């Protein structure tokens, strides 16, 4: 079976969709070496070292090299036919227009429909573009892969995608998070980046939905009793300014470390950052899956996250659940992490047990079943 992938994210996205693409492709190649794999990408970069034997297909015609996005969204179909691709997998919400007429079977992974739930948080033109691509992909794909039951329900609600057409295939994360760092190595990382000896951790974009302001509001209620800093790994603009204004107004500027402003953390160092933290605080309003939660579970780092959405799917019993709109509940969870070491141990043990549901091997095996189901 010849399986092609939309590999743009694998070669160009350093986090999120890029990590999903790289981990899935590498796992499939490793666990199912009898198939042929093709990566269709507008350009090839050093961000992903494709496994041996995997063929990388780039736009060949001069016109397609000039207009790479048009090649990826439409003209790549001719290249799929030229290479005899049996199944094409769009790894991030879209398929090339016209694929439904080509005879090539198709699968699309839908990570979330957040732009449908919260369109006001996006550029209106972007919402129109995302909707057009996502609707087409869900209508025309032979199978739609949802990364959570929450996303499956959203696909049914917003796009009326038939339930029988959707398969939930949970994603995994980089296996590096499962490797335990030695205390000396964590301490050395802290020295390198001038981190405090104790800290809470926030990982994610600095946007309203992710609710960083809820965390710092909780910190303000704990001021004078619990003064453990928060390390923030993520970028933002307008919302970040709003958070910083709150910090300054409440004398908390020194308590929040925006790591991206100071250093460029290497991807290989991220597991150490998690493992050095007292807990990951992830009180997002809504997510499709919440990959930082899974990274924390594999790192044996306790998680504080929100009730509702997909969070119970991702975190299981390895988290303390809070009301993201009530900073007092976030503050209470932070205090419990500090005051109850036995609770921390329980969360670590339950978290690593729950993480076993999200291994690269299980993800690859489930995805291969999806491919096989549409080629019988």
Above 80 in pLDDT, residue 133? yes
* CATH code for position 290: 3.40.50.2000
pLDDT digits (tens, 9 = 90+) for 187-217: 999 999 999 999 999 999 899 999 999 999 9
Q: Give the model's confidence band at 358: pLDDT under 50 very low, under 70 low, under 90 confident, else very high.
A: very high
pLDDT band at residue 305, thresholds of 50, 70 and 90?
very high
pLDDT tens, 16-54?
A: 888 899 999 999 999 999 999 999 999 999 999 999 999
pLDDT for 318 beyond 80 = yes
Q: What is the 3-state secondary structure (H, E, C) of 206-241?
A: ECHHHCHHHHHHHHHHHCCCCCCCEEEECCECHHHH
Least confident of 244-253, 259-268, 332-341: 259-268
Distance (Å) of CA 184 to CA 187, 209, 300, 348: 5, 36, 17, 20
Q: Are 161 and 185 within one domain?
A: no
- The reported pLDDT for the residue numbered 127 is 94
pLDDT band at 122 (very low <50, low <70, confident <90, very high): confident
Pair 69, 143 in one domain: yes
Count CA atoms closer than 13 A to 270's CA, side-chain side: 24
More confident residue, 227 or 88: 88
Sign of CA dihedral 216, 219, 224, 228: negative
Q: What is the pLDDT of residue 166?
A: 98
Q: Which residues form the domain of 154?
A: 2-172+359-373
Mapped onto helix, strand or coil, the DSSP state of residue 5 is: strand
Band (pLDDT 50/70/90 cuts) for residue 147 is: very high
Mean pLDDT (whole number) for 334-355: 96
Q: What is the pLDDT of residues 71-99, one digit of tens each?
A: 999 999 999 999 999 999 999 999 999 99
**How sure is the predictor about 334, in pLDDT bands with cuts at 50, 70 and 90?**
very high
Q: In total, how many domains does the chain have? A: 2
Per-residue model confidence (pLDDT) at position 299 = 96
Kindly state whether residues 124 and 221 are assigned to the same domain. Answer: no
- Residue 265: the pLDDT is 87
The reported pLDDT for the residue numbered 173 is 85
For the cut 90, the answer to whether the pLDDT of residue 227 exceeds it is no
Same domain for 363 and 318?
no
192, 274: one domain = yes
Q: Are residues 326 and 192 in the same domain?
A: yes
- Assess whether pLDDT exceeds 80 at residue 337: yes
In terms of domains, do 68 and 179 share one? Answer: no
Q: Which helix (H) or strand (E) holds 132?
A: helix 124-140
- pLDDT score for 329: 97
Are residue 207 and residue 152 in the same domain, yes or no?
A: no
Q: What pLDDT band is residue 243 in, cutting at 50, 70 and 90?
A: very high
The pLDDT score that the predictor gives to residue 276 is 97
Taking 90 as the threshold, does the pLDDT of residue 15 lie above it? no
Q: Specify whether 349 is located in the same domain as 217.
A: yes
Contact 253, 247 (CB under 8 A): yes
Same domain, 286 and 160: no
As a whole number, the mean pLDDT across the chain is 94
**Percent of the chain scoring above 90 in pLDDT:** 86
pLDDT at 376 over 80: no
């Amino acid at each position: 079976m010849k399986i092609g992938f939309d590999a743009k994210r694998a070669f160009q996205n350093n986090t999120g969709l890029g990590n999903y693409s790289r981990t899935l492709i590498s796992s499939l190649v490793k666990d199912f070496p009898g198939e042929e794999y093709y990566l269709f990408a507008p350009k090839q970069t050093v961000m992903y070292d494709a496994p041996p034997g995997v063929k990388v297909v780039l736009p060949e015609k001069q016109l397609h090299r000039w207009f790479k996005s048009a090649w990826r969204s439409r003209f790549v179909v001719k290249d799929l036919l030229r290479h005899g691709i049996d199944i094409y997998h769009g790894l991030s919400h879209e398929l090339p227009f016209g694929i439904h007429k080509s005879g090539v079977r198709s699968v699309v992974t839908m990570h979330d429909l957040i732009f449908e739930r919260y369109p006001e948080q996006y550029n209106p033109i972007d919402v129109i573009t995302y909707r057009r691509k996502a609707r087409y992909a869900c209508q025309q794909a032979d199978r739609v892969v949802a990364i959570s039951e929450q996303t499956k329900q959203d696909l049914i609600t917003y796009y009326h995608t038939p339930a029988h057409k959707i398969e939930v295939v949970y994603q995994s994360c980089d296996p590096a998070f499962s490797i335990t760092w030695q205390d000396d190595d964590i301490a050395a990382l802290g020295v390198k980046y001038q981190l405090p000896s104790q800290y809470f951790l926030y990982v994610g974009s600095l946007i309203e939905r992710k609710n960083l302001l809820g965390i710092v509001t909780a910190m303000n209620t704990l001021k004078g009793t619990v003064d453990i800093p928060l390390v923030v790994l993520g970028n933002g603009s307008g919302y970040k300014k709003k958070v910083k204004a709150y910090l300054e107004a409440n004398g908390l500027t020194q308590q929040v470390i925006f790591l991206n402003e100071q250093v460029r953390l290497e991807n290989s160092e991220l597991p150490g950052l998690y493992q050095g933290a007292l807990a990951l605080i992830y009180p997002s309003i809504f997510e499709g899956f919440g990959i930082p939660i899974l990274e924390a579970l594999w790192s044996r780092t306790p998680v504080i996250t929100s009730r509702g959405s997909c969070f119970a799917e991702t975190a299981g019993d390895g988290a303390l659940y809070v009301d993201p709109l009530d900073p007092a509940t976030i503050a209470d969870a932070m205090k419990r992490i500090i005051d109850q070491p036995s609770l921390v141990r329980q969360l670590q043990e339950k978290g690593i047990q729950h993480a076993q549901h999200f291994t690269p091997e299980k993800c690859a095996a489930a995805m291969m079943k999806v491919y096989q189901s549409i080629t019988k």
